[in-house]
Amino acid sequence: MSIRELDTAYVAGTYKRFPVEIVRGKGSVVEDVNGKKYIDMGSGIGVTSFGIADDVWQQAVIDQISQVQHMSNLYYTEPCARLAQMLCARTGMKKVFFSNSGAEANECAIKVARKYAAEHKGAEYSTIITLENSFHGRTLTTLSATGQAHYHELFQPLTPGFVHVPAGDTDALCKAAQEHKIAAVLIECIQGEGGVVPLDAEYVKALAAFTKDNDILLMVDEVQTGNGRTGALYAYMNYGLQPDVVSTAKGLAGGLPLGATLLSEKVQNVLGYGDHGSTFGGNPVSCAAACSILSRIDDALLAEVREKSAYVFGTLSKAEGVEAVSGMGLMIGIKTKKPVAEVVAACIEKGVLCLSAKDKLRLLPALNIPTDVLQEAIGIIKEVIAE
Ligand SMILES: *Cc1c(COP(=O)(O)O)cnc(C)c1O
């Protein structure tokens, strides 16, 4: 049986996969079972921050895996402690809880918000406001947080205590806060799965002021936008925000599962012994990988991300067949005249792997994609879009 046949026979059918069987790769180029090469413009949905099998990342993983691959959270291990220190030093946050995925990082944020509100305002202040068109994960609670009804339909009853308001509408936010007892607001600065839609800067400013004035926690979901993706270490930094809680995952460990929930001074001690936990959370190999990744996301790399971003925006904004380009850094959405499914399929044919989000083509290349490789991919994408 081929990989594809085996997978179809035995793996639960939750993913509509493309007919591509990847066996290896290096950097931003991957190779399929037939030896065909593809430029990877999706990096595993913003996960392989420095590409596939990057030498420095790989060495960090090998070094740690040969020392200790896992201990329970009953004992101390260095990578976990060091990564928490690095995250706090880079963000000004005070404590970190480690998990394994974006959904879990958000679950932790939600638990922190509920407990903080219960202790400071009363247990009835349990509602969390999220935005329409948002995406926060697939667990039942993060699904409830997600402001897209089509994800909800088949999985009722969902976790209660979430209200969704339209992005950009300050009045709707105020109204929701009058009608419900609110613990927190949870936002993505750029809605990723929602179609690479950045929030309006004025709206974000108003929302931040509103949460501060009303003793509501401001929580930012940086699962997709975090770790250099937008040309800042975290996207909230582009907006001048000071969130109370930040969740991140995807690109943090460069291709190993790791989620992190960053807690500001205000909420740093909300979680106590036994309040939360995760067997794999803070895994030494994932954390060693993340230490390596985070140490390389420096000012020079972020400047490079912004430069490459400017090149893509500049090239595609005025290209034939393009209606609009949105996003920030190397998180880019392209509204094309042609249906996006056709564009993605034609790109695969021509050796470029792209993502989509809603009706947009979505590009999330590795942060260190070489300029010539990026240019080649954009050239092919441009050709496909124009046809
Ligand atoms: C991908 C994503 C998640 C979910 O992350 P998982 O690791 O799949 O659980 C949550 N929030 C945002 C903004 C995401 O992009």
Give the contacts of 152 (CB within 8 A, at least 6 positions apart): 143, 144, 146, 158
DSSP state letter for 339: -
pLDDT digits (tens, 9 = 90+) for 235-279: 999 999 999 999 999 999 999 999 999 999 999 999 999 999 999
Domain count, the chain: 2
Phi and psi torsions of 112, nearest 5°: -60, -45
Give the contacts of 15 (CB within 8 A, at least 6 positions apart): none
Domain boundary (296, 318, 338) is at 296
Q: Do 292 and 60 form a contact (C-beta atoms < 8 A)?
A: yes
How far does residue 311's CA lie from ligand 1's centre (Å)?
27
Q: Say whether both 22 and 138 belong to one domain.
A: no
Residue 63 within any structural domain of the chain? no
- Most ligand 1 atoms within 8 A of CB, residue of 193, 225, 331 to mutate: 193
Domain boundary (265, 296, 327) is at 296
Which atom of ligand 1 is closest in space to residue 191's alpha carbon?
13
Q: How confident is the model at residue 335 (pLDDT cuts 50, 70, 90)?
A: very high
Q: Say whether both 241 and 324 belong to one domain.
A: no
Residue 355 within any structural domain of the chain? yes
The confidence score (pLDDT) of residue 334 equals 98
Rounded distance, CA 277 to CA 108, Å?
9
pLDDT digits (tens, 9 = 90+) for 130-154: 999 999 999 999 999 999 999 999 9
How far does residue 124's CA lie from ligand 1's centre (Å)?
28
Residue 176 within any structural domain of the chain? yes
How far does residue 386's CA lie from ligand 1's centre (Å)?
32
Say which CATH number the domain at 203 has.
Answer: 3.40.640.10
Q: How many C-beta atoms surround the C-beta of residue 249 within 10 A?
A: 28
Q: Say whether both 323 and 274 belong to one domain.
A: no
Q: Can you tell me whether residue 209 is helix, strand or coil?
A: helix
Give which of 242, 283, 329 is closest to 73, Cα–Cα.
283
Angle at 317 between CA 327 and CA 341, to 5 degrees: 70
Residue 62 within any structural domain of the chain? no
Which atom of ligand 1 is closest in space to residue 104's alpha carbon?
9
Which atom of ligand 1 is closest in space to residue 134's alpha carbon?
13
Q: Measured between alpha carbons, how far apart are the two ends of the chain, in Å?
A: 36
Give which of 320, 334, 329 is closest to 362, Cα–Cα.
334
Rounded distance, CA 198 to CA 242, Å?
18
Q: Say whether both 303 and 288 belong to one domain.
A: no
Q: Say whether both 281 and 308 belong to one domain.
A: no
Rounded distance, CA 195 to CA 248, Å?
19
Give which of 168, 165, 160 is closest to 147, Cα–Cα.
165
Helices and strands per DSSP (H, E), number in the chain: 13, 17
> Which residue's alpha carbon is nearest to atom 5 within ligand 1?
102
- Most ligand 1 atoms within 8 A of CB, residue of 187, 224, 225 to mutate: 224
Residue 146 within any structural domain of the chain? yes
Tokens of 130: 């999220």
Q: Say whether both 161 and 206 belong to one domain.
A: yes
pLDDT digits (tens, 9 = 90+) for 14-48: 999 999 999 999 999 999 999 999 999 999 999 99
The confidence score (pLDDT) of residue 37 equals 98
Q: Say whether both 152 and 116 belong to one domain.
A: yes
Q: Say whether both 126 and 46 belong to one domain.
A: no
Residue 214 within any structural domain of the chain? yes
pLDDT digits (tens, 9 = 90+) for 48-57: 999 999 999 9
Residue 247 within any structural domain of the chain? yes
SS3 content of the chain, % helix, strand, coil (to 5): 40, 20, 40
Q: Say whether both 331 and 379 belong to one domain.
A: yes
pTM confidence score: 0.98
Rounded distance, CA 112 to CA 105, Å?
11
Say which CATH number the domain at 19 has.
Answer: 3.90.1150.10
The confidence score (pLDDT) of residue 277 equals 98
Strands of the sheet with 331-336, listed across from one edge: 322-328, 331-336, 360-363, 355-357
Handedness of CA 233, 238, 239, 240 (dihedral sign): positive
Q: What is the mean pLDDT of residues 58-84?
A: 98
Which residues does a 6 A CB cutoff place in the pocket of ligand 1? 101-103, 106, 135-137, 188, 192-193, 221, 223-224, 249-250
Q: How confident is the model at residue 303 (pLDDT cuts 50, 70, 90)?
A: very high
Q: Say whether both 37 and 141 belong to one domain.
A: no
Q: Say whether both 221 and 259 belong to one domain.
A: yes
Q: What is the mean pLDDT of residues 164-180?
A: 98
Domain boundary (272, 296, 320) is at 296
Averaged confidence pLDDT in the chain: 98
How far does residue 54's CA lie from ligand 1's centre (Å)?
23
Q: Say whether both 329 and 185 belong to one domain.
A: no
Residue 60 within any structural domain of the chain? no
How far does residue 57's CA lie from ligand 1's centre (Å)?
22
> Which residue's alpha carbon is nearest to atom 10 within ligand 1?
136
How far does residue 223's CA lie from ligand 1's centre (Å)?
5
Q: How confident is the model at residue 387 (pLDDT cuts 50, 70, 90)?
A: confident
Give me the domain span that covers residue 219: 68-296
Q: Is the confidence at residue 185, as pLDDT, over 90?
A: yes
The confidence score (pLDDT) of residue 358 equals 97
pLDDT digits (tens, 9 = 90+) for 193-205: 999 999 999 999 9
How far does residue 290's CA lie from ligand 1's centre (Å)?
17
pLDDT digits (tens, 9 = 90+) for 283-296: 999 999 999 999 99
Q: Do 108 and 247 form a contact (C-beta atoms < 8 A)?
A: yes
E strands of 60-177, at which residues? 95-99, 127-131, 162-165
Tokens of 120: 């400071």
How far does residue 103's CA lie from ligand 1's centre (Å)?
6
